[in-house]
Amino acid sequence: MPDSGICIEGFPRSANSYAVVAFRMANPQVKIAHHLHVPAQLLQAVKWKIPAVLLIRDPLEAVASFMVFQHSQNADLYLKTYIRFYKTLQKVLPFLVIVNFDSVIHHFNELIVKVNAKFTTNFVPLDDQAAREEEIFARLKKVNDRFFKGQWHKSMYPDETRRELKARARQLVEQSPYYSQAKQYYEWFLRQA
């Protein structure tokens, strides 16, 4: 990681894969630290003065999606993990660029603009995100097939086959005693974005 040009990290199912693929399409020469899904990755990036992007997503959606990914009904476990993830990063907030899920998916270049402004870098924006979305999803599908072939519940792109499972997982998340605390962390980070 010390030779990475950027670190892009977030709780699982927070547009990590989308962000990495889109960034790599626009900046193929830049080495990216990503997908460990642990705060230590961002803490180390801050220590080494590597531009660091924290991805955030509403815990209702992120945790429900991760529960489907893991074939789990344990909302409490993943909500506690979500809380720990973001709580650990509060102390380095001034050294991070925070980008929410919707911005990554619909306005990816906001990430590039924020990183370039904060870290005085000159990363290249993604040209015409809407026109390149099909290519982004094709690349995500290729990565998905490489790591999770035949495991439809682990899809890295929108997939209607998970809809029912995700609806049930959302109910479990909302019923958890940890949901309100996770939501508070999300809203706090969202205000800092």
- What confidence tens digit (pLDDT) does each residue in 2-34 have? 789 999 999 999 999 999 999 999 999 999 999
Kindly state whether residue 34 falls inside one of the protein's structural domains: yes
Number of C-beta neighbours around residue 176 at 10 A:
20
> What is the domain count for the chain?
1
Q: For position 85, which CATH number holds?
A: 3.40.50
In sequence order, the β-bridge partners of residue 32 are: 6
Both tokens of 121, joined, read 């870098």
Both tokens of 1, joined, read 């990681």
Q: Which residues contact 148 (CB under 8 A, 6 or more apart)?
A: 154, 155
pLDDT at 155: 59
End-to-end CA, the chain: 25
Residue ranges making up the domain that contains 49? 6-192
Predicted confidence (pLDDT) at residue 48 exceeds the cutoff of 90: yes
Kindly state whether residue 88 falls inside one of the protein's structural domains: yes
**Cα 118 to chain center, whole Å?**
19
pLDDT digits (tens, 9 = 90+) for 129-167: 888 888 887 887 776 666 667 655 555 556 677 788 899
Kindly state whether residue 1 falls inside one of the protein's structural domains: no
Q: What is the pTM of this model?
A: 0.90
Kindly state whether residue 77 falls inside one of the protein's structural domains: yes
pLDDT at 86: 97
Residue 54 DSSP SS3: strand
Kindly state whether residue 26 falls inside one of the protein's structural domains: yes
Number of C-beta neighbours around residue 104 at 10 A:
24
Both tokens of 145, joined, read 């097939």
